[in-house]
Amino acid sequence: NAGVTQTPKFQVLKTGQSMTLQCAQDMNHNSMYWYRQDPGMGLRLIYYSASEGTTDKGEVPNGYNVSRLNKREFSLRLESAAPSQTSVYFCANRDRTDTQYFGPGTRLTVL
């Protein structure tokens, strides 16, 4: 079992470019999350999805959109990247005991 997978692992964008970060799980959990991790700031929740077809904003949603078309996949889209979005992005899911499982992360640099 792969658990939570993320693609790509690394990405460099220019300001104004768009991209989609992909996340997939094979754990059959309903809830999925997108976080960003910045030095000195800890992990902050961008968006989450309690179940297929539902999404909700977290602490820092501005500049991002998400899509949860099926139970397995939860994607994060940057429509017009900005240098402030340079960060490490983590996808996670949550099981019935509330334990969260994280993917390996996507390291994004916006120039």
Residue 47 within binding range of another protein, rule CB under 8 A: no
Q: How far is the CB of 87 from another protein (least distance, A)?
A: 14
Question: Of 19 and 102, which has the nearer Cβ to another protein?
Answer: 102
- Interface with another protein, residue 71, by CB under 8 A: no
φ/ψ region of 45 (left if φ > 0, alpha if ψ in -120 to 50, else beta) reads beta
Point out which span in 13-21, 42-50, 64-72, 74-82 binds another protein (CB under 8 A).
Answer: 42-50
Q: Which amino acid is at 53?
A: G
Phi-psi region of 2 (alpha: psi -120 to 50; beta: other; left: phi over 0): alpha
Separation of alpha carbons 49 and 82, rounded Å: 24
**What single DSSP character describes residue 71?**
S
Interface residue list for another protein (CB under 8 A): 4, 31, 33, 40-45, 48, 50, 56, 58, 90, 92, 94, 97-105
